[in-house]
A and B are shown apart, each in its own frame.
Chain A
Amino acid sequence: MYCQKCYTKLDPTTEFPRCPRCGRGFDPADPGSYLTVPLPGKWRIILYVVVSTIISIAAAFFVALFQLRIPGGAGGH
């Protein structure tokens, strides 16, 4: 049982279950409120994918621009 925010190991036996590191609360009876392994959850993975895709598309424009500006390419014409 791990914190969804900071991946710290959680203790479900406390009276008011909270992450000892960041204070994020969780419900031991609700599997959606904590992680079973200290790896990013579904939504955080989706966020990584979206951000990586946006960065990649921006980089693709720069790569295309660079290729077109190579002497002999269309940029040099």
Chain B
Amino acid sequence: MADESPPPPRPLNYRGIQPKRVKYVPTAEDRRWRNRRILLRIAIFLVLFLPISLYFGPNLIMFGTLTRVSPADFAPLVQSLSISIVRAMKEYQRDAGQLPFQMTDLVPKYLPNAPAGGQYIFNGWFTQSDDSRQYGQNISYDFTPGSEGWEVNGMFLSGPIPLPPVTIGPATQPSPPPK
């Protein structure tokens, strides 16, 4: 007598792909949903691509900040690199009655060492321009009374840096003008 028990059920395995391809003709409804999926992909891409690639990314790469760089972002750089030089220049001006013509005028009396580079004195302005974080931005100090203060100028932004003018104390002893 033959065994008439039914064959064992085939595993469902619904996460596996076992193609049983038939010619499928998409309906108009299928095409509408397909267009919606394409739009969804484009929307996700643009929502991420535009702000990251054109705004947040370049700002983060070039200036280390997610938002647009502002003159206030240069304040730490000024405080770490430039204030001591401008203070030395003002002390020179206090003693000599005029601003120094070059950086070497400040050494060694007002500065222990000449700056490594990138800082210049030109026509009564102090300028610093070669720091790798600035990307073409020049930090300047205007010694003109009335408009004295820090400025940043360049291709990305220009404007006053919100820092108070550098002040120095009065001379404690008379000093002959440097040669």
A48 contacts B36, CB within 8 Å? Answer: no
Residues of B within 8 A of A61 (CB): 57, 61
B53 contacts A59, CB within 8 Å? Answer: yes
The 0/1 profile, CB within 8 Å of A marked 1, for residues 24-55 of chain B is 10000010011011001100110011001110
Distance of B118 from chain A, by nearest CB (Å):
10
Other-chain residue from B16, B17, B57 in contact with A63 (beta carbon distance below 8 A): B57
Other-chain residue from A16, A49, A72 in contact with B48 (beta carbon distance below 8 A): A49
A60 contacts B53, CB within 8 Å? Answer: yes
Those of A39-77 within 8 Å (CB) of chain B? 39-40, 45, 48-49, 52-53, 55-57, 59-61, 63-64, 67-68, 70, 72-74, 76-77
Other-chain residue from A22, A27, A38, A59 in contact with B21 (beta carbon distance below 8 A): A22
Residue B134 interfacial (CB < 8 Å): yes
Interface residue tally for chain B (C-beta within 8 Å): 40
A25 contacts B52, CB within 8 Å? Answer: no
- Among residues of A, the one whose C-beta sits closest to the C-beta of B135 is A74
Residue B148 interfacial (CB < 8 Å): no
Cα-based distance from A53 to B47 in the complex (angstroms): 10
Known: A8-B30, A63-B57, A63-B58. Is A23-B52 also a contact (CB below 8 A)?
no
Residue with the highest number of chain A CB atoms closer than 10 Å, among B10, B30, B52, B132:
B52
B57 contacts A64, CB within 8 Å? Answer: yes
- Among residues of B, the one whose C-beta sits closest to the C-beta of A73 is B136
Known: A25-B14, A33-B14, A48-B44. Is A60-B19 also a contact (CB below 8 A)?
no
Residue B79 interfacial (CB < 8 Å): no
B14 contacts A26, CB within 8 Å? Answer: yes
Residues of B within 8 A of A67 (CB): 58, 62
A21 contacts B24, CB within 8 Å? Answer: yes
Chain A residues at the B interface, C-beta cutoff of 8 Å: 5, 7-9, 16-18, 20-27, 30, 33, 38-40, 45, 48-49, 52-53, 55-57, 59-61, 63-64, 67-68, 70, 72-74, 76-77
Task: Jot down 6 A-B pairs with beta carbons below 8 A, ordered by A.
Answer: A18-B18, A40-B40, A48-B44, A57-B57, A68-B62, A73-B135
Chain B residues at the A interface, C-beta cutoff of 8 Å: 10, 12-22, 24, 30, 33-34, 36-37, 40-41, 44-45, 48-49, 52-54, 56-58, 60-62, 129-130, 132, 134-136, 155
